[in-house]
Structure 1
Amino acid sequence: MIELTKEYLENIKHLIAEKSDKEIRLLLSELHPADIAEIYDELDLRETAYIYPLMDEDKAADVLMELDEDARGRLLKELPPELIAKRFIDYLETDDAVDLIRELDEDTQEEVLSHLEDIEQAGDIVDLLKYDEDSAGGLMGTEMIVVNENWSMPQCIEEMRKQAEEMDEIYYVYVIDDDERLRGVLPLQRLITNPSVSKIKHVMKKDPIAVHDNDSIEEVAQTIEKYDLVALPVIDSIGRLIGRITIDDVMDEVREQHERDYQLASGISQDVETSDNVFLQTAARLPWLLIGMIGGLGNSMILGGFESNIASNPKMALFIPLIGGTGGNVGIQSSAIVVQGLANKSLKKEEIWSQVLKESAVALINASIISLVVFIYNFFTLGDRVVTASVSLSLFAVVIFASMFGTLVPMALERIKIDPALATGPFITITNDIIGMMIYMFICVSLS
C-alpha cells in the first residue's frame, strides 16, 4: 500500500514527461494493481495511455479491472478492439472478462470476441453473456479445479496439476460424476491424508452447498455469508457444475447495490459519483427535487384553504413544522426496517402481516408517548386548549398513519418488482408531509 502524496504523483508525471520507461517499469512492478489504479485516477488520459504498455499483461489486466467504471470506460474508448482482446481479455478470468465485455457497445463486443485466439475462452464468454448480470450465472467464472468421483487419488492429483497451471487462485476442488453433475468437494486435508484411496468418491465431502445459475446475487451473498464460504459452485437446472463465484465478486456487487440503494433513498434517481460532471449530477438529483417542490406547493395549497382559520388563531402555524417533520421521520424509520428485512430475507412473505401488527403496536406506543409529551408541554406553556388538543391528536394520528404507510409501501413495491429502497427516500417524506398537514388542519378546524 502506498501513500499517494502530491510529491509522489509529481515524480510519476515527471518520469512520463521524460519518457523514462525503465524507471516507470521498475516503479510499477513494485506496486499492487489497486495502487496503480489509484494513481491512474490522478493522471490524464494521455499519461494513462503512455504507461499502460509498460506493464506486463497480467498486471495491466488486473489494473484495468481495479479502475473506477467511468475511468475504465474512457480508457476503453481510446483502445482498438484487437488490443482490448489480446492485452486484457486474454489475461482475465472469465467472470472479469464478461464484466469488461458488458461495458462495450454491441459492435465493439463482437470485434473484441473475434480477435480472441482461445476459441474455448471466447465460447465461455459468449455463454456467460447470455445470463442476466444480476444473477449467479452472470456473476460466475468458469476457472475451477474439477475432478471425477471415479478417479483414483494419483490420477486426481495429476489432473489437478494440469488444471492448476492456468489458474491464479484455487479455492476448492469440485467433484463431478460422469454426467458432469456436482457430487461433492474434495478438502485438501483429505487429499493429503488419503494418498492411496481407490476412488475420490470414498473421501469427498458429499452434498456441497451450491446455487443455481438463475439465483439472484442477493441469494448468492446470503448463502456465502451463512456458510462462511470463500467460493460457491454454480449448477444448472439438472445439477451440472457450470461455474463458481468467489467472495470478492459478491462483495463488489453487494457494495454497488448498497450504493445504489443509498442514493435512491436519498432522492438520487441514477448512479453518480463525485467525479461525474455537473450535468450528470444535476440530471440525477433534479427529478426528486421537482417532485419535492410539487409536494411543497401541494402543502401551500392545503394551508391556503385554511388561511382564515390560521389568521384567527396564529398559534396553529407554530406546529406545522413539528407535524410534517414527525410524520416524515416516523415513515422513514418504518420503511427502513421493512426494506432491510426484505433485502436480507429476514422478513418472509408469510410474516408480512405479523410485521404489520408489530409495527402497529410500536406505532401506538410511540404515538401515545409523543402526543402526551407535546400535550403536557403545550398545556403549561401555550395557554390555548384548542391548539393544545389539536396538536396532540394530530401527532397521534400522523404517527399511526406514517408508520403504516412506511411499512406497507415497500412491501407493495417489492410485490410489483420495484426497488423497495425507493420507499425510504423523498417519496415517504413528501407523502407523509402532505397527509400529515391535511390531518392537522382537519382536526384544528373540527375542534375550533
Structure 2
Amino acid sequence: MEFKVSKELIQQLEEHIVNKNDKELEVLLNDLHHADIAEILDELDFDEATYIFRVLDSDKTAEILLELEDDLRENILSRLSPKEIAEELDELETNDAADIIGELSQEIKAEVISEMLDVEHAKDIVDLLRYDENSAGGLMGKELVKVNENWNVLTCVKEMRIQAENVSRVHSIYVVDDENRLKGRLSLKDLLTTSTKTQIGDIYIRKLNFVNVDTEDVEVARIMQKYDLEAIPVVDELGRLVGRITIDDIVDVIKDEADKDYQLAAGITQDVESNDSVLELTKARLPWLLIGMVIEIVASFVLKGNEEIFKLHSTLIIFVPLLSATAGNIGVQASAIVVQGLANGTLKEFSRAYFTKEITVSMISGSIISLLLLGYHSIMYQQYLVGFAISISMIVVILFAATLGTLVPLFLHKNKIDPAIATGPFITTTNDVFGIMLYFGVAKLILGV
C-alpha cells in the first residue's frame, strides 16, 4: 500500500521535535522508505526537517537527500558541517554523491572531499565531477563488477565476490583486457555451468552495447530504451571501462526531458516548479507572452489592412476567431506528433512519405470542416459566394498550418535546437499572422475585391 502523509503524523512528529524525543522520532521513521521520509520532510519547516535529519543514521539520511526537493536539500546542506556532509556522501554511490557535491560551493566542496573517510570513493567522485552533467560521464557510477579475460572461472568468482561488496545491484559482469579496455560481458549462466578452469576469454559474449563518456544523456536514454537495457557500460576515448549507467539514472533523465518539453510546449522558457518564487515563475513565463503579444500586434495590422473587404462582406470578420483556433489546433497537433517521433526515434529527419501523410490527413480534416462551415454559412447568411470563399480559405489555412507544424520541428531538430519549442505558442501565434493573411488573400481572389 502506498504511503501517504497525514496531518496526524505531522503533528506527532512536531510534538516529538519540540520535546526532543529523539528515540520516538526514530521509532516512527526508521521503518519508512527513504522516499516517504523525504515526503514528510517536505511538509515540515526547514528547522524541523534539519532536526529530524540529524536524528536519523547517515545510511538512511544519505538516501533521503536524493529524494528531497532542491530548495530543502540546499537548506539542509547549508546547516551541516563539511564533516557531516562527508559522512552522508560516504554512504552514497559515486554518481549520486557527485550530484550532491556538485551543488556545493567550491570552498565547501574541497572541505567535504578532504573529510571523506573512503579515499578511493572520494577519488571516484572527483573524477565524475569533471564530466558534463548532461553526458554519460555525468550520469555514470563507478560501482560495477568487471573481470579480466585472462582469468579462469575460479579466479573470476573470487574477484567478483570482493567487488560485489561495493555494488548494490549487479546488472552485468563486464570483461576487460589487461589495459582495462572493454571487451564484452559475461553470462551468469555460462559462469555457473562452465568448468572452474575455463578461461573467461573462451566464454564471454563479445557483442555488447556501450556508450562514450561524452554521449548526451538523451541519447543514452534512447539506446537503453531501444535495447531494453537495465544498465549500460561507459568507456573513455581509449575504449577503457570507466563506469556504468543504470535504469534508475535514465528514468530521471526521461522525466526531466519530458518536464522540459512540456514546459517549452506551454511557452515556459526555463525549468520551474510550482513551489518556485513569484519572480522565478514570472521570468519563466513572460518571454513567450511578450513574443506572442508582438506577433498578435502584427496580426492586428494585417486585419486593419483588410478593412475594405470586411466592410463589403462583414461575415468574413466573424469567422476569424474560428480560423485562428482551427489553424492553431492543426499546427499544434502536427508539431506534437513530429516532436514525439523525434523523441522516440520513429522519425529522425524529413520524410517525404510522412509529410505526404500529414498533408493528406490535414486535407481530409480541412475538407470536412470547410463543408460544415459552408453549410452553416449558407443557412445562416445565404451569401453563397462568401461562404465558398471562407470555406476554401479555411482549407488553405489548415494546409499551411499543417505544413508549418510539420516542418518547423524538423528544422529546429536539424539545427540542434529543441523542437519542443515549436509545439506551443510559437506555432499558434505564427499561424495567427500568416493564417489571417492567407484567409483574406484567398477571399479577395474569389470575391474579386
- The TM-score bracket by the shorter chain reads over 0.9
Once residues 227 and 296 of structure 1 are traced to their aligned partners in structure 2, the CA distance between those partners, rounded to angstroms, is: 46
Do residues 240 (structure 1) and 240 (structure 2) align? yes
**How far apart are the structure 1 equivalents of 2:190 and 2:174?**
13
SS across alignment from 2:184: strand
Asked if the contact 1:413/1:420 (under 8 Å) is kept, the reply is yes
Moved more, 281-290 or 45-54: 281-290
Note if 1:204 corresponds to 2:211. Answer: no
Q: Which moved more, 1:53-62 or 1:248-257?
A: 53-62
Q: Secondary structure at the match of 2:351?
A: helix
Question: Residues 218 and 344 of structure 1 are in contact (CA less than 8 Å); yes or no, is this contact kept in structure 2?
Answer: no
2:360 match: secondary structure: helix
Greater mean alpha carbon deviation, residues 140-149 or residues 211-220: 211-220
Match of 2:156 in 1: 156
Tell me how far apart the structure 2 counterparts of residues 233 and 128 of structure 1 sit (CA, whole Å): 15
Moved more, 178-187 or 401-410: 178-187
The match for 1:436 is 435
**Residue 176 of structure 2 corresponds to residue 171 of structure 1:** no
The aligned counterpart of 1:383 is 382
Distance in 1 separating the partners of 2:341 and 2:196: 50
Match in the other structure for 1:131 = 131
* Residue in structure 2 matched with residue 321 of structure 1 by the alignment: 321
Q: Indicate the residue corresponding to 1:271 in structure 2.
A: 271
Name 2:63's counterpart in structure 1. Answer: 62
Are residue 19 (structure 1) and residue 15 (structure 2) matched? no
User: C-alpha separation between the residues in 2 aligned to 1:165 and 1:301?
Assistant: 71
- Letter of the 1:295 counterpart: I
Give the structure 2 partner of residue 8 of structure 1. Answer: 9
Q: Does structure 2 conserve the Cα–Cα contact (< 8 Å) formed by 1:374 and 1:392?
A: yes
Matched, 1:342 2:342: yes
2:136–2:245 Cα contact (<8 Å) kept:
yes
Asked whether the 8 Å contact 2:218–2:253 carries over to 1, the reply is no
Q: Determine helix, strand or coil for the equivalent of 1:104.
A: coil
Post-superposition offset of 1:104: 2.4
Q: Which residue of 2 aligns with 1:46?
A: 47
5 Å matches for 1:157-306? 157-306=157-306
In 1, Cα distance between equivalents of 2:239 and 2:21: 55
Report the equivalent of 1:399: 398
Extract unaligned runs of 5+ from structure 2. Answer: none
State the TM-score, normalized to the length of structure 2. Answer: 0.94
Structure 2 CA distance for aligned equivalents of residues 372 and 64 of structure 1: 60
1:361 match = 360
Structure 2 CA distance for aligned equivalents of residues 104 and 280 of structure 1: 21
Distance of aligned partners of 1:301 and 1:176 in 2 relative to their CA distance in 1, 3 Å threshold: same
Aligned length: 446
Q: Percent identity?
A: 46
Give 1:212 shift. Answer: 1.9
Distance 1:347 1:120 in 2: 44
Contact kept, 8 Å, 2:38 with 2:64, in 1: the verdict is yes
Match of 1:359, SS? Answer: helix
In the alignment, what sits opposite 1:83? 84
* SS of residue in 2 equivalent to 1:51: helix
Q: Contact 2:46–2:72 (CA<8 Å) still a contact in 1?
A: no
Task: Report how far residue 378 of structure 1 moved.
Answer: 2.1
CA distance in 2, matches of 1:359, 1:327: 14
Contact residue 386 and residue 444 of structure 1 kept, 8 A: no
User: Structure 2 CA distance, aligned partners of 1:282 and 1:245?
Assistant: 36
Are the counterparts in 2 of residues 146 and 173 from structure 1 also a CA contact under 8 Å?
yes
Instruction: Give the Å deviation of 1:169.
Output: 2.2
What CA deviation, in whole Å up to 9, does each residue of 1:362-418 have, x standing for no partner? Answer: 333333333233223323332112420221121111111111111111111112221
Contact 2:87 2:116 in 1 (8 A): no
Contact 2:324/2:436 (8 A) holds in 1: yes
Q: Which deviations, in whole Å up to 9, do the C-alpha atoms of 1:52-86 show, x marking residues without a partner?
A: 122211111100001122322232233333322x2
C-alpha separation between the residues in 2 aligned to 1:209 and 1:419?
26
**Structure 1 range deviating more: 388-397 or 120-129:** 120-129
Q: In structure 2, what is the Cα distance between the partners aligned to 1:442 and 1:333?
A: 25
User: In the TM superposition, what is the alpha-carbon distance from 1:431 to its structure 2 partner?
Assistant: 0.2
What letter corresponds to residue 444 of structure 2 in structure 1?
Answer: V
Mapping of residues 393-432 of structure 1, within 5 Å: 393-432=392-431
State the shift of 1:308 in Å: 4.0
Matched position secondary structure for 1:185: strand
Calculate the TM-score normalised by the size of structure 1: 0.94
Report the 3-state secondary structure (helix = DSSP H, G, I; strand = E; otherwise coil) of the residue aligned with 1:41.
helix
SS of the residue 1:215 aligns to? coil
In structure 2, distance between residues paired with 1:33 and 1:195: 43
Contact kept, 8 Å, 1:224 with 1:230, in 2: the verdict is yes
Report the alpha carbon displacement of residue 195 of structure 1 after superposing the two structures with TM.
5.0
C-alpha RMSD over aligned residues: 1.9
Q: Distance in 1 between matches of 2:47 and 2:234?
A: 41
Between 1:24-33 and 1:105-114, the stretch displaced more is 105-114
Deviates more, 1:322-331 or 1:377-386: 377-386
For 2:428 and 2:388, the matched residues in 1 are separated by 24
Could you tell which deviates more after superposition, 66-75 or 56-65?
Answer: 66-75
Which piece of structure 1 moves more, 427-436 or 335-344? Answer: 335-344
The SS at the match of 1:206 is: coil
Q: Quick one: distance in 2 between partners of 1:437 and 1:28?
A: 62
Matched residues in 2 for 1:418 and 1:82: separation? 42
Per the TM alignment, residue 209 of structure 1 is displaced from its structure 2 partner at its CA by: 2.0
Contact kept, 8 Å, 1:89 with 1:97, in 2: the verdict is: yes
Give secondary structure in 2 for the equivalent of 1:205: coil
Distance, in Å, in 2 between the alignment partners of 1:5 and 1:362 is 50
Provide structure 1 residue ranges, at least 5 long, that are not aligned to the other structure: none
